[in-house]
Structures are given as structure tokens and as C-alpha cells.
Amino acid sequence: MKLPKNLEPIISGLSAAIVISVLAFLTLRTSTGIWLMFSFGATVFIVFVLYNLETAQPKNIFFGHLVSLIVGIIFNETIGFSFYSLGFSVGVAVTLMVYLKIMHPPAASNPLVVLFTDVSFEYILFPVVLGTIMIIIISIFINKIILKRDYPTKWF
């Protein structure tokens, strides 16, 4: 059964809230590590509202976040926090996402997160790898099973 158009925004918002709440619970109430970062808020918007776009597909979510976070870490470890490292790291992340065909706009903010919070390589596993995998798994379940949407439209 297809959802009525006037209910889709509500269901999309509730779905985004569920995903962020799960990641927040894992971050705040367990000892497993950090599962949540700011750019994930924009990621769940794309996954539940713009789910049919290329940028919402699992490959783009996972690798877009991963590549841009690694760029941020490299800048943090080599240059450190400065006005030019903030700008140039975002520019490099955007360039790599385009060349590698893993464009995911929310991930472009990851170098800023890294540089402002001074995190290092441990941030790759928690929250990026495990957080994005959790977003992908939950969003596939909600989109396919509950919302009856064709998501993901492609994996690779």
C-alpha cells in the first residue's frame, strides 16, 4: 500500500527521528563508542526524503562519509586547525567525492567536524563506519518494508 502524499513528510520525519535516536542511544547509553555525528542529520534527510537520488544510495553514504572524514583527519594530523585547512579540506573532500563518484553532500562537512573537534583515526570506526552502516541498514528496512519504497535503487 502506497502512503498518501500528505503523510509522507510526517513518516519521513519520524523515520529520520528513529535513526538518529538509535544512534544517539548507542552513543549516550552504551559503552560501545560514538555512533553519531552532526552530518548524519542531513544524511537521514536525504535517505528518507530524497531516497531515489544517487546521493542517497548506500555506496555514496558510506564512502562519501569515509573519504571526507579521512581527508579531515589527514588535514588535522598534518596542518592542524586554521582558516586555510578548514576551507581546503572541504574542497579536497568535495573534489574526491566527485572524482570517485561517491557524492554525498552531508559528508562535505566531515572535515570541519574533524578539525573543530580535533579527532583522529579512531573516529573512522566510531562513528563513521559503524554509524553509516547502521543508517543504511535501518533506512533500507524502513524504506523497503514499512514505506514500500524502491530503496536502494542501486548498490554500486
What is residue 89's predicted lDDT score, i.e. its pLDDT? 98
Rounded Cα–Cα distance for residues 18 and 65 (Å): 20
pLDDT digits (tens, 9 = 90+) for 17-41: 999 999 999 999 998 889 999 999 9
pLDDT digits (tens, 9 = 90+) for 39-62: 999 999 999 999 999 999 999 999
What is residue 4's predicted lDDT score, i.e. its pLDDT? 84
pTM for the whole structure: 0.95
Q: Is the distance from CB of 35 to CB of 23 less than 8 angstroms?
A: yes
Question: What's the whole-number mean pLDDT along residues 128-143?
Answer: 96
What burial class does residue 21 get, using C-beta atoms within 10 Å of its C-beta: 0-12 exposed, 13-18 middle, 19+ buried? Answer: exposed
With the C-alpha atoms ordered 41, 42, 43, 46, is the resulting torsion angle positive or negative? positive
pLDDT digits (tens, 9 = 90+) for 74-107: 999 999 999 999 999 999 999 999 999 999 999 9
What is residue 78's predicted lDDT score, i.e. its pLDDT? 97
